[in-house]
Protein backbone atom coordinates (compact mmCIF):
# COMPACT_ATOMS: atom_id res chain seq x y z
CA UNK A 1 0.00 0.00 0.00
CA UNK A 2 1.35 3.40 -0.92
CA UNK A 3 1.42 6.38 1.41
CA UNK A 4 -1.35 8.03 -0.59
CA UNK A 5 -3.52 4.92 -0.33
CA UNK A 6 -2.93 4.73 3.42
CA UNK A 7 -3.89 8.39 3.83
CA UNK A 8 -7.03 7.88 1.72
CA UNK A 9 -8.00 4.79 3.72
CA UNK A 10 -7.54 6.64 7.01
CA UNK A 11 -9.57 9.60 5.74
CA UNK A 12 -12.34 7.19 4.75
CA UNK A 13 -12.38 5.64 8.23
CA UNK A 14 -12.50 9.04 9.89
CA UNK A 15 -15.36 10.12 7.63
CA UNK A 16 -17.29 6.95 8.47
CA UNK A 17 -16.72 7.52 12.19
CA UNK A 18 -18.08 11.07 11.88
CA UNK A 19 -21.12 9.79 10.01
CA UNK A 20 -21.78 7.06 12.59
CA UNK A 21 -21.45 9.52 15.47
CA UNK A 22 -23.84 11.93 13.75
CA UNK A 23 -26.41 9.16 13.22
CA UNK A 24 -26.08 8.05 16.86
CA UNK A 25 -26.60 11.62 18.07
CA UNK A 26 -29.68 11.99 15.83
CA UNK A 27 -31.11 8.67 17.02
CA UNK A 28 -30.56 9.76 20.62
CA UNK A 29 -32.52 12.97 20.04
CA UNK A 30 -35.30 11.14 18.18
CA UNK A 31 -35.71 8.69 21.06
CA UNK A 32 -35.80 11.55 23.57
CA UNK A 33 -38.48 13.29 21.47
CA UNK A 34 -40.56 10.11 21.28
CA UNK A 35 -40.34 9.64 25.04
CA UNK A 36 -41.48 13.21 25.60
CA UNK A 37 -44.80 12.56 23.87
CA UNK A 38 -45.46 9.00 25.08
CA UNK A 39 -47.91 8.17 27.82
CA UNK A 40 -46.71 6.14 30.81
CA UNK A 41 -48.57 3.14 29.36
CA UNK A 42 -46.76 3.49 26.03
CA UNK A 43 -43.41 3.71 27.80
CA UNK A 44 -44.24 0.54 29.74
CA UNK A 45 -45.17 -1.28 26.53
CA UNK A 46 -41.92 -0.16 24.91
CA UNK A 47 -39.95 -1.40 27.92
CA UNK A 48 -41.73 -4.77 27.80
CA UNK A 49 -40.99 -5.18 24.09
CA UNK A 50 -37.33 -4.31 24.65
CA UNK A 51 -37.08 -6.90 27.41
CA UNK A 52 -38.73 -9.57 25.24
CA UNK A 53 -36.37 -8.84 22.35
CA UNK A 54 -33.28 -8.89 24.58
CA UNK A 55 -32.58 -5.18 24.12
CA UNK A 56 -33.14 -4.05 27.67
CA UNK A 57 -30.70 -2.43 30.04
CA UNK A 58 -30.91 -0.29 33.15
CA UNK A 59 -33.41 1.92 31.37
CA UNK A 60 -35.96 1.42 28.66
CA UNK A 61 -34.07 3.19 25.88
CA UNK A 62 -30.37 2.56 26.65
CA UNK A 63 -29.93 6.34 26.91
CA UNK A 64 -27.06 6.01 29.40
CA UNK A 65 -25.19 3.67 27.09
CA UNK A 66 -25.66 6.00 24.10
CA UNK A 67 -24.61 9.04 26.12
CA UNK A 68 -21.44 7.23 27.24
CA UNK A 69 -20.49 6.24 23.70
CA UNK A 70 -21.24 9.72 22.35
CA UNK A 71 -19.12 11.32 25.08
CA UNK A 72 -16.23 8.95 24.34
CA UNK A 73 -16.46 9.67 20.62
CA UNK A 74 -16.38 13.41 21.31
CA UNK A 75 -13.43 13.00 23.68
CA UNK A 76 -15.45 14.04 26.72
CA UNK A 77 -15.40 12.37 30.10
CA UNK A 78 -18.34 10.03 30.47
Identify the band that residue 77 occupies on the pLDDT scale cut at 50, 70 and 90: low
- Smallest Cα–Cα separation from 28: which of 74, 61, 52? 61
- Smallest Cα–Cα separation from 29: which of 52, 74, 63, 65? 63
Q: Say if residues 21 and 70 touch (Cβ distance below 8 Å).
A: yes
Q: What is the pLDDT of residue 76?
A: 77
Q: What is the DSSP string of 5-34?
A: HHHHHHHHHHHHHHHHHHHHHHHHHHHHHH
Coil, strand or helix: which one is 61? coil
Q: What is the pLDDT of residue 70?
A: 95
More confident residue, 76 or 14: 14
Q: pLDDT tens digit string along 3-57?
A: 988 888 898 889 999 999 999 999 999 999 999 999 999 999 998 998 899 887 7
Q: What is the pLDDT of residue 56?
A: 72
Amino acid sequence: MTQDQAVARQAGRENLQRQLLSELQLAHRIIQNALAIMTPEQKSEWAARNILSGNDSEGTTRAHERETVIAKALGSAA
